[in-house]
Amino acid sequence: MAGRVSLPPGLLDEWELTADGEPWTGFHASVVPVTTADGEPAALKVGLHDNEHLALQHWHGRGAVRLLRADPGRGLLLLERLPGPDLADHWDVEACEVVAGLYRDLHRPAVPQLRRLSSYAGEVAAALVDLSRDVPLPPRLVQQAGLLAARFAADPATDGTLVHTDLHYGNVLAAHRAPWLAIDPKPLSGDPHYEVAPLLWNRYDELSGRVRDGLRARFHAAVDAGGLDEHRARDWVVVRAMDLARQRLADPPGTPRRTPTPALLTMCVSIAKAVQD
């Protein structure tokens, strides 16, 4: 019940909400099903938001869940409640087509308050150059990703489009007013080609025994359905895969993790290789 999630005292009364079922606890946030004063099913998200409200406001419900109310200072979002399910049990290649089919609605001119992807790419380039040659990653891939990141950092096309950046199978829910809608953006002012990588590293374990072909099928499904340039999408996958690996290597020892570090590094290398073989 809502009682197990720590809601600000008095919030339900303040926003005229009634708790309506068990909360979902995501990796970063908790989401409490509620009913509004009008009797509408809604979802109250409590936790960190990475400017989530700015993206949701900008989308106005096109391609994404509708934002009903936000208090970013207190980390609170009231969302339209979607019936689901998500895409976790969908055939993965078709799921990639579904997700990439949302790009057209989501990839609008960015709002100025968002962080620019070029500035992040510059940070990634510097971090990859600084990565010790002793880490268990192929030096050639680390160097390649660093050079690509530096090139993206200097490329005007890297900024300007609102991108979700965490568009994976669990962040797309079935809906009534559209077949599928995105939730949980971590938005940047960026490049649509940045969007593909989470489709490769999520549900990775399912590809056991056919990793390369499975990754390539997902990648091409997303590129084709999203109308993306294959080379630019591939370069971002290489950068994001090596960025994910170096972030893990920078974690303090003992950080609780779903995937052990050796398995995660192997996955990142497989992804960066599969898209360029």
Ligand X SMILES: Nc1ncnc2c1ncn2[C@@H]1O[C@H](COP(=O)(O)OP(=O)(O)OP(=O)(O)O)[C@@H](O)[C@H]1O
Give the catalytic positions in this structure: 166
CB of 192 to ligand X, least distance (A): 20
Task: Let me know: does 172 contact 103? Beta carbons within 8 Å.
Answer: no
Q: Which residues contact 123 (CB under 8 A, 6 or more apart)?
A: none
Q: Which of 36, 158, 165, 171 binds Mg ion (CB under 5 A)?
A: 171
Q: Binding string to Mg ion for residues 181 to 200, with x set by CB under 5 A, is what?
A: ---x----------------
The residue among 81 and 234 lying less far from Mg ion, judged by its C-beta, is: 81
Distance CA 154, CA 168 (A): 27
Identify the CA nearest to 115 among candidates 124, 128, 126, 127. Answer: 124
Residues forming the site for ligand X (CB under 6 A):
24, 26-29, 31, 43, 45, 65, 79-82, 84, 170-171, 173, 183-184
The residue among 18 and 143 lying less far from ligand X, judged by its C-beta, is: 18
> CB under 5 to 8 A by kind: which of Mg ion, ligand X, none does 43 bind?
ligand X
43 half-sphere exposure, CB direction, 13 A CA radius: 20
Identify the CA nearest to 221 among candidates 90, 121, 132, 120. Answer: 90
Closest-CB residue for ligand X?
Answer: 26
> CB under 5 to 8 A by kind: which of Mg ion, ligand X, none does 136 bind?
none
The residue among 173 and 233 lying less far from ligand X, judged by its C-beta, is: 173
CB atoms near residue 139 (< 10 Å): 11
Using the rule CB under 5 A, is 52 a contact of Mg ion?
no
The residue among 71 and 86 lying less far from Mg ion, judged by its C-beta, is: 86
Provide the phi-psi class of 220: left if phi over 0, else alpha when psi is between -120 and 50, else beta. Answer: alpha
CB of 23 to ligand X, least distance (A): 8
> CB under 5 to 8 A by kind: which of ligand X, Mg ion, none does 245 bind?
none
Identify the CA nearest to 7 among candidates 48, 44, 52. Answer: 44
70 half-sphere exposure, CB direction, 13 A CA radius: 15
CB of 32 to ligand X, least distance (A): 9
Binding site for Mg ion (CB under 5 A): 26, 171, 184
